Amino acid sequence: MSSELIDVSTWTRFHADKKHPFWWGILCLIVIETTVVFGFLLSFFYLWIVNTAEGRMGWPPGNTDPPVLYPGINTLLLIICSLAMWYGGVVMERGKNWIFFWTVVVCCIAGGLVAWLRWLQFAALPFAWNDNAYAALVWTMTGFHLMHVTSAILGTAVIGWFAAKGFYTEQRRLGVQVDTIYWYFVSAIWIPIYIVLYWIPRWT
């Protein structure tokens, strides 16, 4: 075993790239959450096959397809959130904190609309969460994604507050990168949920 000492006095605490454990931490979180979502989707298809093969109630039971208007609008709003954070990262690299602050405002407003429309979507569903397995999966998956949207809004609001205080510099922008990556995940993971829950049953 080597007893050589390493001088870390000149090392920086501000690695805004793959050297920082936070960067890898958000990727590990995304892997875990993606696994959960795809577990839900596999359960959806499994129950679909079982209910169809055994001639039960069909899938969805009773032809109760959920409305597509609110989820469709939410898809566009989530894309706006990702684009706002992407552009925010661009202006942040140029040291324009206040422009970044306003991209954060746009992202939070769009994310807030997503949460509000999701709430309206719950009220418009033609079934309760405990009516059957199909209803439970629809409520669970959309509710699970709503939790991600809510946490992303809160995190982005904190990022915006730090930006308004002038905290971020070229070296101190890891929080911006991590938050942007998370918004990419929140937006991207909604696409398979949206297609599976709202369009595949209609196509078949």
Sequential pLDDT tens for the chain (204 residues): 556 776 656 655 555 555 667 777 888 889 999 999 999 999 999 888 887 776 666 777 766 777 888 999 999 999 999 999 999 888 887 777 788 889 999 999 999 999 999 999 998 888 888 888 888 999 999 999 999 999 999 999 998 888 887 777 666 677 788 888 999 999 999 999 999 988 887 776
Whether pTM exceeds 0.85 = no
Q: Is residue 9 part of a domain?
A: no
Q: Where are the alpha helices (DSSP H) in the chain?
A: 21-53, 69-93, 97-124, 133-164, 174-198, 200-203
CATH label of the domain that carries residue 170? 1.20.120.80
Kindly report the backbone phi and psi dihedral angles of residue 67, in degrees, each rounded to the nearest multiple of 5, phi listed first: -60, 150
Q: How many domains does the chain have?
A: 1
Q: Is residue 154 part of a domain?
A: yes
Is omega for the bond preceding 201 within 30 degrees of 0, making it cis?
no
Which range marks the domain in which residue 33 is found? 21-203
